[in-house]
């Protein structure tokens, strides 16, 4: 009875540690990749090739003074960064990183739990992250933060629909909501082949969902001061930062599980395939940031409502009809 | 028709992505400044130096022309009368925190004494070090001469 609990706790610790390290080094990778695409070098000074830069950044942020402005709504102000960070990490509870394998006659399951409604759980938990944005903007008692948080939450809410609709199509093909079942269903053919439209819609919606360029309206440094975390400093600010990157990892992981076949792949061990695919999707995020200019807010909304949702719906209809005929 | 095709397949976005990907593998143009110097062009104007004769005496004759022509008024000269009625230079000060490196002093000099050097590492922790005198300027000449000889150039 006790052993499974201990195992689960060990797994949780491993996954959280790995994700936090990955998030730290994603900031480094972002600066490097965008630098290289602008024919620059990026960070080079801290350690060999600047490899210790994220650690230096973290130490710097922790060492800074953590100040709370006078007129903020204190409990909400403190809760908001937690609400952006924790759901992003909690979403990884149902991700199947690899297939079950046996070590010393004991079956190891490389995921924390396998819910039969895993996808629904991920969508629900990532929606909770929106509250962090809204609450931080409201509690800061600053017009810039409020405007930024309003933009951000409007964006997240409108793109969540398209994202959900795009994710339903692979679910129809797999006939299950459990992420492990969906991955197993893709052992023959990845769903990105029949569902290329849904994959594109999902990618666009996911980039908008995580407030990244070219949809980084909420943090438009050139227009409003910084968006919803303008009043935050020190570790609370770092939590927002980590939450944003952890969310990016979460949507990339979901994209890999739903469309790119999860751990399926020839020659290499399953976990390696999984990590490679996730890093590839993350690279696409950085790539787009280096390429595209920011959208105007009305363009953003019209793209979400007038383009993505109809395309996702049409795709869903066609998928449903085809699945019905074949089965 | 072509427009519809372009919009549906996001061709322009893919073109942009191709360009950024091409740049990813280009040779980088960054100079790691404190560790390696940026290249200097032949006509670069850095900190001045004042040429000396072979016996070590300065070529400057204290004619005040450089002080006169200097637009930021950073050259201050004080001259004095010598024992044989010649002009001695009591003080020749150049304030680097005011200098705009325009090279007018070099152009105005009738005796080929003051010149623009190639050294641009002028940053310092105290403001007093920015005022350089004749001694420093003559030492700059020695340095520049050594550098030029190392490169096999004429000064």
Q: Give the model confidence (pLDDT) of A7-66 as tens digits.
A: 889 889 988 999 999 999 999 999 999 999 988 888 888 888 889 999 998 899 889 888
A134 burial type by CB count under 10 A (0-12 exposed, 13-18 middle, 19+ buried): buried
Residues 6+ apart with CB under 8 A from A73: A138, A139, A141
B24 inside domain: no
Which pLDDT score, from 0 to 100, does residue A221 have?
A: 61
Of the pLDDT bands very low, low, confident and very high (cuts 50, 70, 90), residue A153 is: confident
Higher pLDDT, A269 or A199: A199
Contact B140, B49 (CB under 8 A): yes
A32, A36, A283: which to substitute to probe chain B, counting the most B Cβ within 10 Å? Answer: A36
**Angle, alpha carbons B91-B92-B98 (nearest 5°):** 130
Q: Which domain holds residue B128?
A: 47-151
pLDDT in tens, A209-261: 888 878 887 666 656 567 777 888 888 888 888 888 999 999 999 999 889 88
- pTM of the complete model: 0.83
Angstrom CA distances, A35 to A215, B5, B28, stand at 20, 33, 9
Domains of chain A: which residue ranges? 1-326
Question: What is the per-residue pLDDT for B105?
Answer: 93
List, in sequence order, the alpha helices (H) in chain A.
2-37, 53-63, 74-90, 118-139, 143-174, 179-185, 196-209, 234-258, 270-291, 297-302, 309-326
Whether B122 and B96 have beta carbons less than 8 Å apart is answered as: yes
- Phi/psi for A133 (5° steps) reads -65, -50
CA of A37: how far to CAs of A28, A29, A164, B14, B19, in Å?
14, 12, 32, 15, 9
pLDDT, tens digit, 9 for 90 and up, residues A73-131: 888 988 988 888 899 899 888 888 877 777 776 777 777 788 888 889 988 888 888 88
CA dist B87 to A56, A304, B108, Å?
Answer: 60, 83, 19
CB A133 within 8 A of CB A148: no
Residue B89's SS3 state is strand
Tell me if chain A has a CB within 8 Å of the CB of B19.
Answer: yes
Check residues A105 and A174 and name the one with the higher pLDDT: A174
Average pLDDT over residues A275-297: 89
Is B80 inside any structural domain?
Answer: yes
Q: Is residue B7 part of a domain?
A: no
B33 at A interface, C-beta within 8 A: no
Q: Identify the CA nearest to B92 among candidates B102, B107, B109.
A: B109
Task: Please answer yes or no on whether B24 and A291 come within 8 Å at the CB atom.
Answer: no
Tokens coding B155: 């000064």
> What CATH number did the domain enclosing B138 receive?
3.30.70.3270
**Mean pLDDT: which of A51-60, A143-152, A181-190 is highest?**
A51-60
Indicate whether A327 pLDDT > 80: no
Report if residue B14 sits inside a domain.
no
Measured CA to CA, the distance from residue A195 to residue A180 in angstroms comes to 19
Closest CA–CA distance from residue A310 to any residue of chain B (Å): 13
Q: What is the pLDDT of residue A316?
A: 92
With beta carbons less than 8 A apart as the criterion, state whether A116 and A96 touch: no
Nearest CA in chain B to A214: B13
In DSSP notation, A32-86 reads: HHHHHHTT-----SSSGGGTTHHHHHHHHHHHS-----TTS-HHHHHHHHHHHHH
If you average pLDDT over residues A302-323, what whole number do you get? Answer: 91
pLDDT for A22 equals 92
Is B43 within 8 Å of chain A by CB? no
What's the pLDDT at A277? Answer: 92
Kindly report the nearest CA distance between residue B11 and chain A, in angstroms: 13
Ramachandran quadrant class, A215 (left: phi over 0; alpha: psi -120 to 50; beta: rest): alpha
- By the CB < 8 Å criterion, does B24 face chain A? yes
Give residue B46's Cα distance to chain centre.
1
User: With contact defined as beta carbons under 8 Å apart, do B58 and B52 qualify?
Assistant: yes
Q: Does residue B62 belong to any structural domain of this protein?
A: yes
pLDDT at A222: 59
Give the whole-angstrom CA distance, residue A137 versus residue A152.
Answer: 10
Contacts of A308 in chain B (CB under 8 A): none
- Confidence (pLDDT) at B49: 93
Q: Is B18 on the interface with A (CB under 8 A)?
A: no
- Picking from A99, A93, A103, the residue whose alpha carbon sits closest to that of residue A125 is A93
Q: Please tell me the predicted confidence (pLDDT) of residue A224.
A: 59
Please tell me the distance in Å from B25's CA to the nearest CA on chain A.
Answer: 7
Q: Which residues of B carry a binding-site annotation for [4Fe-4S] cluster?
A: 60, 63, 66, 70, 99, 102, 105, 109
What residue ranges of chain B have pLDDT lower than 70? Answer: none
Q: Which pLDDT belongs to residue A137?
A: 86
Q: What are phi and psi of B94, to 5 degrees?
A: -130, 120
Report in angstroms the alpha-carbon separations of A228 from A5, A98, A148, A155, B105: 38, 37, 5, 13, 55
Cα A204 from Cα A166, distance rounded (Å): 10
Question: If interface means Cβ-Cβ distance under 8 Å, which residues of chain A face chain B?
Answer: 33, 36-41, 44-45, 200, 287-288, 290-292
Residue B36 at interface with chain A, using a CB cutoff of 8 Å:
no
Rounded distance between C-alpha atoms, residue A111 and residue A12, angstroms: 9
Is A18 strand, coil or helix? Answer: helix
């Amino acid at each position: 009875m006790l052993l499974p609990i201990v195992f689960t706790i060990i797994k949780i610790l491993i996954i959280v540690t790995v994700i936090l390290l990955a998030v730290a080094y994603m900031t480094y990778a972002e600066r490097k990749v965008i630098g290289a695409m602008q024919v620059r070098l990026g960070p080079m000074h801290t350690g060999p090739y600047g490899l210790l830069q994220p650690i230096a950044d973290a130490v710097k942020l922790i060492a800074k003074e953590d100040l709370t402005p006078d007129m903020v709504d204190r409990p909400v102000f403190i809760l908001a960064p937690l609400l952006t960070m924790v759901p992003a990490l909690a979403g990884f509870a149902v991700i199947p990183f690899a297939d079950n394998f046996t070590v010393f006659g004991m079956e190891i399951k490389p995921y924390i739990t396998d819910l039969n409604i895993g996808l629904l759980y991920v969508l629900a938990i990532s929606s909770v992250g929106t509250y962090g944005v809204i609450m931080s903007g409201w509690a800061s008692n600053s017009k810039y933060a409020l405007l930024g948080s309003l933009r951000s939450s409007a964006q997240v809410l409108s793109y969540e629909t398209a994202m959900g609709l795009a994710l339903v199509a692979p679910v129809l093909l797999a006939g299950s909501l459990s992420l492990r079942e969906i991955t197993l269903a893709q052992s023959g053919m990845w769903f990105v082949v029949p569902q290329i439209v849904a994959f594109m819609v999902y990618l666009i919606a996911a980039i908008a969902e995580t407030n990244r360029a070219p949809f980084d309206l909420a943090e438009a440094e050139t227009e409003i001061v910084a968006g919803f975390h303008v009043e935050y400093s020190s570790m609370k600010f770092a939590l927002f930062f980590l939450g944003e990157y952890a969310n990016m990892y979460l949507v990339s992981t979901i994209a890999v599980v739903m469309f790119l076949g999860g751990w399926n792949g020839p020659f290499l061990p399953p976990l390696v395939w999984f990590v490679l695919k996730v890093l590839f999707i993350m690279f696409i995020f950085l790539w787009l940031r280096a390429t595209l200019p920011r959208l105007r807010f009305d363009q953003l909304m019209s793209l979400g409502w007038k383009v993505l949702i109809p395309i996702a719906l049409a795709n869903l209809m066609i998928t449903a009809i085809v699945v019905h005929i074949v089965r | 028709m072509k427009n519809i095709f372009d919009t549906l397949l996001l061709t322009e976005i893919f073109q942009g992505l191709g360009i950024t990907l091409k740049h990813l593998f280009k040779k980088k143009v960054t100079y790691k400044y404190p560790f390696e110097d940026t290249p200097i062009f032949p006509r670069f104007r850095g900190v001045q130096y004042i040429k000396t004769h072979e016996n070590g005496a300065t070529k400057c004759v204290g004619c005040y022309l450089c002080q006169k022509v200097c637009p930021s008024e950073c050259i201050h000269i004080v001259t004095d009368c010598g024992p044989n009625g010649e002009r001695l230079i009591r003080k020749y000060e150049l304030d680097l925190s005011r200098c705009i490196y325009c090279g007018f002093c070099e152009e105005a000099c009738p005796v080929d004494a003051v010149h623009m050097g190639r050294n641009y590492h002028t940053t310092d922790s105290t403001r007093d070090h920015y005022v350089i005198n004749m001694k420093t300027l003559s030492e700059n000449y020695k340095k520049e001469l050594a550098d030029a000889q190392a490169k096999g150039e004429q000064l």
